[in-house]
Amino acid sequence: MSQSLSISLVQQQFPIGAVRQNVLQVIELANTAGTDLVVFPELTLTGYPPEDLLFRDDLFTLVETGLQDIQAAAYPGVLVVGHPWRQDGLLYNAASVIQNGKLIGRYFKQELPNYGVFDEKRYFTPGNAEDICTFTIKNQTFAVLICEDVWHGHPAAAAKAAGADWALVLNASPYETGKIAQRQHLLSTLAERLHLGFVYVNQAQGQDELVFDGSSMLVNPDGKLALQAPAFERDIYRAELHKNSAHVFASHQLVQPSPLSFEAEVYQALVMATRDYIQQNGFPGAVLGLSGGIDSALTLAIAVDAIGADKVQALMLPFRYTSSMSVEDATAQANTMGVKFDIVSIEPMYDSYMQQLTPLFAGKGVDTTEENLQARLRGVLLMAMSNKTGKMLLTTGNKSEVAVGYCTLYGDMCGGFAVIKDVPKTLVFRLAAYRNSISPVIPQRVIDRPPSAELAPGQTDQDNLPPYDELDAIIEAYLEQDKSLLEITAMGYAEATVKRVLNLIDLNEYKRRQSAVGPKITSRNFGKDRRYPITSAMRKQR
């Protein structure tokens, strides 16, 4: 008769640097789980990524004390907990296996990612391939792996060769579009090839520009998905494992009934990122400029869904070029969503500034200076409200605008968190429509009308930029696929248009270096993913 083993996958938030809090959470969650085996994510005790906190001795004092406290709590089953560990003068990304309060194993991550947003080789030493960590409970053998290890075949193959029935994979795997399905395909293929089951546990939280989606899973040795935890939700997910002479399998299935749509997945990522950034940094709420355009409309919807209407404040800051339609639509959305809303004209302030500036501008015609002044006046007022209320100012620029510099430094770029910074304009429209499919909060005219900054009479975005479907395709090819001018032109776009867009992207690096952090949702965002020099002659060689 087969013997069952109960297991818990802990998909939770573990804030960066909150070691004492995270230790208490490990003990509490383990007791809540109450299973034979409880698996936590990568670097549970410090949160991920701790970055240069890892250079601090006091962090390791907290980690060492925390591990002692977890052992002293003497949970009657087995805990697998991620944490950094110093040994023989070296630093490792580690996982400890604790059974009935005693350390029975410790594993060091072998494969250290050092690409994109990852800098692990800056901090950690890789573990030795020969040092395989296995343990057996109830006649089932488990091996411990950490995140990047499963993206390379040999650590999992070594675990199987060491007699493992299951690989426990601790993860801090950031979200990007397509990543959830990619992970599942990887594990299913690897499981089927090695006849090794996988217990994949991922954290669920926003951390600065990264969003960790959870999506923990259990994959049977035949490659079939046995348990799929929902994305962007925090909970403990349990299963029972059995072993007999034929195979190992999970008898209790919890498969997400219907995968999230592309738009739903991205929207939930943005909501989680916004909520966690505001709450973890201690802000009582958020404030933003609501222009009557689609970017600020989407940002408002995300903010309300993240922290609640009672914590969000919106300001409409019209000027003589602001259409009545914009005022009406902004007012309608604010009322529908139930946020505090005020309208303050910037015209008197603009006139006062121009009275002082006109003599200094003698002999010079009107240009973008006057347009930027409007944006900067709005930035001053919004920052004043942020300072006075203590609320976080959210910026509303999308990836397309940020890419080509269609935004004003110290103006509409003011703020502490850029909610849709990595969302191309074409996707902004899709997300707005998706949000309205849940409940109609964004006026349809906002989605349908041509986008405009309304900084000049009759202005539209397409006066200065290519059509957004064309612009976004060029941006994606250049930023996310590293295609050259010739390669992008070969895709069917006019050479002059491509060259202009690429030059704008490179020229505006100085703006992006001064911009607010925003959540990454694409394969390459403006942030840790793309580290471009501000001063560069590369574009002159095109």
For the question of residue 540 being annotated catalytic, the response is: no
Residue 213 sits at the vertex; the CA angle it makes with 207 and 218, to the nearest 5 degrees, is: 135
User: What is the Cα–Cα distance from 205 to 398, expressed in whole angstroms?
Assistant: 22
Buried b (16+ CB within 10 A) or exposed e, 232-258: beeebbbbebbbeeeebbbeeebebee
**Among candidate residues 292, 278, 282, 311, the one with its CA nearest the CA of residue 454:** 292
Q: Are the beta carbons of 97 and 111 closer than 8 angstroms?
A: no
Question: How far lies 462's CA from each of 3, 386, 412, 425, in Å?
Answer: 67, 32, 19, 12
Q: Which of 42, 176, 265, 371 is catalytic?
A: 42
User: What is the Cα–Cα distance from 380 to 412, expressed in whole angstroms?
Assistant: 10
Q: Which of 111, 120, 133, 147 is catalytic?
A: 147
**Among candidate residues 526, 520, 532, 479, the one with its CA nearest the CA of residue 209:** 520
Q: What is the 3-state secondary structure (H, E, C) of 282-303?
A: CCCCEEEECCCCHHHHHHHHHH
User: What is the Cα–Cα distance from 542 to 537, expressed in whole angstroms?
Assistant: 10
Question: How far lies 429's CA from each of 82, 126, 299, 458, 469, in Å?
Answer: 40, 44, 12, 21, 11
The residues, ordered by sequence, that sit 6+ positions from 379 with a Cβ below 8 Å of its Cβ are 408, 410, 411, 412, 413, 414
Strands (E), 307-386: 312-316, 340-343
User: What is the Cα–Cα distance from 527 to 518, expressed in whole angstroms?
Assistant: 8
Element of type H or E holding 205: strand 204-207
Q: How many CA atoms lie within 13 A of 163 on its CB side?
A: 7
**Among candidate residues 265, 260, 279, 184, the one with its CA nearest the CA of residue 225:** 184
User: What is the Cα–Cα distance from 425 to 430, expressed in whole angstroms?
Assistant: 9
Q: With the C-alpha atoms ordered 117, 392, 432, 266, is the resulting torsion angle positive or negative?
A: positive
Q: Are the beta carbons of 278 and 313 closer than 8 angstroms?
A: no
User: What is the Cα–Cα distance from 468 to 424, expressed in whole angstroms?
Assistant: 9
The one-letter amino acid code at 390 reads: G
For the question of residue 147 being annotated catalytic, the response is: yes
The separation between the first and the last C-alpha atoms of the chain, rounded to the nearest angstrom, is: 71
Strand partners, 91: 86
The residues, ordered by sequence, that sit 6+ positions from 299 with a Cβ below 8 Å of its Cβ are 288, 394, 396, 419, 420
User: What is the Cα–Cα distance from 144 to 135, expressed in whole angstroms?
Assistant: 9
* Structure tokens given for 235: 């909970």
Known catalytic residues are: 42, 109, 147
